[in-house]
């Protein structure tokens, strides 16, 4: 195991970080949309959200990625491996984040929703300005957790051909016949990134503005 | 583009065989993982500070790294240190050890939830440490550890799909092979996704059933 090999792994980990961060935030946006659908009261939207969440939480991410990778070209959409990876990861994390947000939305104090209504906010305004920020604040620890899960899951996008940390490790292991030190180093890099995310998450949880009184 | 599912469904027996391997590895791996995790949690609680510290390292490493990297390390790296395993053995070992790290944390929370007065009382009436763990602490923590345990079992079921990447002949690998033979990639993956979806929903349903059964006993 030389420094050059380790440097290649570090470079590839930038792609891992990029894909994970982008998917987490895209997924968060989708998840808020799914939550809005689920709470809209309109049967087709509620059912769409339910089935979407159940499917993406019920099928292994590997299979989801293979599905997107094979399905989109078959219907005439040919996408780069980066786009495929981002779509797959964001849809999957959206379903998990929507499930996390459910608890957050349930935790929004009723009095606040009623005050928003009394102050003349429409249901949509109340959703955007009152309920969503509070739900996000309440579920912040779950978001940090999900970020760590996605960082680990991003190793699977190697199957759609994107060169990130795991794929780079596979390539190097195959070309140098040193799988042991290379996969161990890749694991250590994942571990280091996860530690940073976990520590930053705990700091942020303390630093963020306080939780509303129950 | 038209889809032809008949060519995939014609391979039903092969798919079922793959499903059988998936379920077998899942159940055995989950049981091994839960037992090993329970032993780790017990050792961390009663083995002294050194054991607690020493065991926290593998638990944190296993929880902080992707399962895919772990099985690649085991399957491709293992032979370099004399650990030559066939795919199924490597997959089973990898899944059990990975699961054990998470189950160890679940049971650790379980031990913490039992009021210390209860195990002290058990001690006073003359129960041994083992009797206290098995007959007092384990039943008391059961209701608390059941939901995360079932959740973890479902996560492990989905993780078994990754074993296809180290050539374990489970469902994902079997159905993908059928897809390439029949030149029906999309159809094969759609069938695969639907089977996993049904399996996970079934496992979730059984988990909720078990929770309801257990909570009526402890109410």
Check residue A178 and report its DSSP letter. -
Using pLDDT thresholds of 50, 70 and 90, give the confidence band for residue A212: low
Which of B172, B185, B196 shows the shortest C-beta gap to A58? Answer: B196
What's the mean per-residue pLDDT of chain B? Answer: 91
Going from the C-alpha of B113 to that of each of B21, B133, B143, the distances in angstroms are 36, 13, 11
Is A152 within 8 Å of B76 when comparing Cβ atoms?
A: no
Is B158 within 8 Å of A59 when comparing Cβ atoms?
A: yes
For residue A74, the distance in angstroms to the closest alpha carbon of chain B comes to: 7
Which chain A residue is nearest to residue B64, measuring alpha carbons?
A191
- pLDDT of A191 over the 50 cut: yes
Mutate to test the interface with B, among A70, A91, A157, A176 (most CBs of B within 10 A): A70
A35 φ, ψ to 5°?
-65, -40
Total Cβ atoms within 10 A of residue B74 = 21
- The three-state secondary structure class of A104 is helix
Mutate to test the interface with B, among A20, A50, A58, A184 (most CBs of B within 10 A): A58
Question: What pLDDT score was predicted for residue B200?
Answer: 95
User: pLDDT per residue over A26-82, tens digit each?
Assistant: 999 999 999 999 988 899 999 999 999 999 999 999 999 999 988 888 888 888 899
Complex confidence, ipTM: 0.89
Q: Concatenated DSSP letters for chain B? A: -----HHHHTTHHHHHHHHHHHHHHHHHHHHHHHHHHHHHHHHHHHSHHHHHHHHHHHHHHHHHS-HHHHHHIIIIIGGGGT----HHHHHHHHHHHHHHHHHHHHHHHHHHHS-HHHHHHHHHTT--HHHHIIIIIHHHHHHHHHHHHHHHHHHHHHHGGGGGGGT--SHHHHHHHHHHHHT-HHHHHHHHHHHHHHHHHHHHHHHHHHHHHHHHHH-
**Matching residue, tokens 């978001």:** A143
- pLDDT of B212 over the 50 cut: yes
Quick one: tokens of B99?
């699961």
Q: Which residues of A touch B197 (CB under 8 A)?
A: 54-55, 58-59
Which chain B residue is nearest to residue A189, measuring alpha carbons?
B65
Q: Which residues of A touch B80 (CB under 8 A)?
A: 179-180
- pLDDT of A188 over the 70 cut: yes
User: pLDDT per residue over B61-101, tens digit each?
Assistant: 999 999 999 999 999 999 889 889 999 999 999 999 999 99
Query: Could you give the count of Cα atoms lying within 13 Å of A117 in the half-sphere of its Cβ?
Result: 6
Predicted TM-score (pTM) of the model is: 0.90
Q: Which residues of B touch A179 (CB under 8 A)?
A: 72-73, 76-77, 80
Could you tell me which of B98, B97, B66, B85 has the C-alpha nearest to residue B167?
B85
Per-window interface: B 167-186 vs A, CB < 8 A: 172, 176, 185-186
Is A194 within 8 Å of B64 when comparing Cβ atoms?
A: yes
For residue A66, the distance in angstroms to the closest alpha carbon of chain B comes to: 7
CA angle B86, B87, B92 (to 5 degrees): 105
Mutate to test the interface with B, among A9, A61, A62, A189 (most CBs of B within 10 A): A62
Judge contact between B176 and B200, C-beta under 8 A: no
User: In chain A, what percentage of residues exceed pLDDT 90?
Assistant: 70
The 3 state secondary structure assigned to A194-210 is HHHHHHHHHHHHHHCCC
Question: What pLDDT score was predicted for residue A214?
Answer: 47
């Amino acid at each position: 195991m030389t420094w050059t090999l380790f440097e290649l792994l570090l470079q590839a980990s930038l792609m891992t970080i990029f894909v994970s961060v982008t998917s987490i935030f895209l997924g968060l946006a989708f998840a808020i949309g799914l939550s809005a659908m689920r709470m809209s009261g309109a049967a087709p939207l509620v059912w769409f959200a339910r089935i979407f969440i159940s499917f993406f939480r019920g099928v292994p991410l590997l299979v989801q990625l293979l599905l997107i990778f094979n399905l989109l070209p078959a219907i005439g959409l040919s996408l780069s491996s980066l786009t495929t990876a981002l779509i797959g990861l964001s849809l999957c994390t959206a379903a998990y984040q929507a499930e996390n947000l459910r608890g957050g939305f349930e935790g929004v104090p009723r009095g606040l929703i009623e005050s928003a209504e009394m102050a003349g906010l429409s249901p949509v305004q109340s959703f955007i300005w009152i309920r969503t920020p509070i739900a996000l604040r309440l579920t912040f620890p779950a978001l940090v957790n999900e970020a760590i899960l996605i960082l680990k899951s991003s190793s699977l996008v190697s199957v759609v051909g994107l060169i990130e940390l795991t794929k780079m490790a596979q390539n190097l292991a195959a070309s140098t016949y040193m799988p042991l030190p290379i996969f161990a180093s890749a694991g250590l890099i994942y571990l280091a990134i996860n530690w940073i995310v976990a520590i930053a998450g705990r700091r942020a949880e303390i630093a963020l503005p306080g939780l509303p009184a129950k | 583009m038209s889809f032809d599912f008949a060519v995939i469904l014609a391979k039903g027996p092969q798919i079922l065989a793959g499903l059988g391997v998936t379920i077998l590895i899942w159940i055995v791996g989950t049981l091994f993982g839960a037992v090993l995790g329970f032993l780790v949690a017990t050792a961390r609680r009663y083995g002294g500070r050194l054991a607690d510290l020493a065991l926290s390292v593998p638990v944190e490493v296993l929880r902080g790294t992707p399962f895919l990297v772990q099985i690649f390390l085991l399957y491709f790296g293992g032979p370099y240190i004399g650990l030559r395993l066939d795919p199924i053995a490597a997959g089973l070992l990898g899944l059990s050890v990975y699961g054990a790290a998470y189950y160890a944390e679940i049971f650790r929370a379980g031990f913490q939830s039992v009021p210390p007065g209860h195990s002290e009382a058990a001690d006073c009436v003359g129960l041994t440490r083992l009797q206290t763990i098995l007959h007092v602490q384990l039943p008391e923590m059961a209701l608390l550890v059941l939901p995360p345990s079932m959740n973890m079992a479902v996560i492990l079921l989905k993780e078994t799909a990754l074993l296809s990447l180290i050539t374990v002949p489970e469902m994902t690998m079997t159905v993908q092979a059928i897809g390439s033979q029949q030149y029906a990639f999309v159809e094969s993956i759609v069938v695969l996704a639907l089977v996993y979806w049904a399996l996970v929903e079934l496992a979730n349903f059984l988990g909720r059933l078990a929770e309801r059964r257990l909570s009526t006993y402890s109410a």
